[in-house]
Amino acid sequence: MTGFALGAEQEEWCGQLRALAAERLRPLADKGEPGRVNRPLLAALGELGLLERVFTSGALELCLLRESLAYGCTEAETALALQGLGAHPVLASGTPEQRARWLPEVRAGRAVAAFALSEPGAGSDAAALALEAVRDTGSAADRDGGGWRLSGEKCWISNAPEADFYTVFARTGEGPAAKGVTAFVVPADRPGLRGEPLDMLSPHPIGRLSFDGVPVGPQDLLGEPGRGFRVAMDTLNRFRPSVGAFAVGMARAALDATLAHTAARRAFGGVLGDLQAVGHRVAEMATRTEAARLLVYAAAGAYDAGSPDVPRRSAMAKLLATETAQYVVDHAVQLHGAVALQRGHLLEHLYREVRAPRIYEGASEVQRTIIAKELYR
């Protein structure tokens, strides 16, 4: 890849992924129930080796994977991404025993992972976590002594309450704010852990978790006590550019649908695309989409190269790509008219999907704050 174009092999692979998403994964997604984990879809992602790619790919390849799947099947893209988000902390910070237990099952699509960071009072301000981990020297989950009991709530957790395990971030109190957060891997069948689904705009599963003295021990630690916030931020820095890639995939799908519609739809003695106002709007949609795509690729390239400015580049990529996708999908709906508002239309689906990425993994306002801090550093 150059700074401006993908190589021939990369373009071919992306085309194959788009076709695979439309032909193999889209039918499985259509059979799923909105708001529920689609386990047959996850199993297919595992059988096709795509979940394996989440853990073995560099950041750029992950972006190409997510963008291409999003173009043809947003549900498949989201299912794949959530497996990566929930299990990447185990890959990066887990013990050999934790990796052996969970990662093969996640890669095969048999175990569902979830990233449990957000709380009712700690969304954008992730360092304000209130889920408490109190020392419990007699914990049943602690074989060696010195365990904890988790008490509190998590909210807006993707794949909850149906996940098989959760990467959970709790306050252990080694220091103030982010310095007192510890990461744990918590199986869903732990006593005291309950969950309920939330009825959200986005079609993928999101829920609330309650922790009533849930026992965890040293064998459940991800990394070191008091270092959990770094585990969370390292995961988010890896996945933020690819959230932008998800958004770019949706924008490109909306743009292509708009080009096809405005080139064929007859109005005012010609086709819509002949109208200067329409042509100019489509040109703006295409230009913004291309700019977002290039920024996403640049951020992923910086991550793969170990660049020190990854936080700034990742924040810029997520910010521009998600805001652009919202703009493109909204204008695509406008140019299609009422037909795009019918339940089941591609753009009706994208209109519901495109809103959430501007909030999750750091809202647009948070990305602007990160960018400003990095610029003034």
- The residues that are catalytic are 361
Euclidean distance between CA atoms 94 and 72, whole angstroms: 33
Euclidean distance between CA atoms 165 and 106, whole angstroms: 10
Closest CA to 88 of 56, 120, 125, 110: 56
Cβ neighbours of residue 56 closer than 8 Å, sequence gap 6 or more: none
Give me the amino acid identity at 351: Y
Please classify residue 49 by burial: count the beta carbons closer than 10 Å to its beta carbon, then call 0-12 exposed, 13-18 middle and 19+ buried.
exposed
Q: Which H or E element spans position 364?
A: helix 364-376
Give ∠ CA 74-79-80 in degrees, rounded to 5.
100
Peptide bond into 308 cis (omega under 30): no
The number of beta carbons lying within 10 Å of the beta carbon of residue 148 is 27
Closest CA to 318 of 303, 333, 337, 335: 303
Cβ neighbours of residue 357 closer than 8 Å, sequence gap 6 or more: 243, 246, 247, 318, 322, 325
Phi, psi of 220 (to 5 degrees): -100, -5
Please classify residue 93 by burial: count the beta carbons closer than 10 Å to its beta carbon, then call 0-12 exposed, 13-18 middle and 19+ buried.
buried
Give me the amino acid identity at 149: R
Euclidean distance between CA atoms 205 and 198, whole angstroms: 8
Q: E-assigned strands of the chain?
A: 113-116, 132-136, 147-158, 165-171, 181-187, 193-197, 206-216, 221-222, 266-267, 270-271
Euclidean distance between CA atoms 5 and 8, whole angstroms: 9
